[in-house]
Amino acid sequence: MITVHDLAIRVGARLLMSDVSFQITPGDKVGLVGRNGAGKTTLTKVLSGTLDPSEGSVEVTGELGYLPQDTHSGEDSEPVLS
C-alpha cells in the first residue's frame, strides 16, 4: 500500500504540486496522465523513494518495484538496435 499525505514537490523555485493526499491499495490500477513537465516522473521518483518530497510524507507498505524511464546502459553512441 502507498499512502501519501500533504505532499508538495518543488523543482528549484517551481512548485509542481502541493497539498496532495491519496492512498493506493493492493490491486488498484493507477495511470498518470499530464502534459510534459507536469511532474509525472518526479512524482513517481518520490513514490519510489528515489527523490525526497519537499513537504509531506510517503509511506510504502510492502514491496514497490520501480523501473526508471531514463535507464542508460552502455555508451550513448552505441546503437540500441543493430
Average pLDDT estimate for 3-7? 98
Check residue 70 and give its pLDDT. Answer: 72
The secondary structure of 21-66, three-state, reads: EEEECCCCCCCCCCCCCCCHHHHHHHHHCCCCCCEEEEEECCCCCC
Check residue 5 and give its pLDDT. Answer: 98
pLDDT tens digits along 54-64 = 999 999 998 88
Average pLDDT estimate for 28-48? 93
Check residue 71 and give its pLDDT. Answer: 66
Check residue 69 and give its pLDDT. Answer: 76
Check residue 32 and give its pLDDT. Answer: 93
Average pLDDT estimate for 35-56? 94
Q: Phi and psi at residue 51, in whole multiples of 5°? A: -135, 140
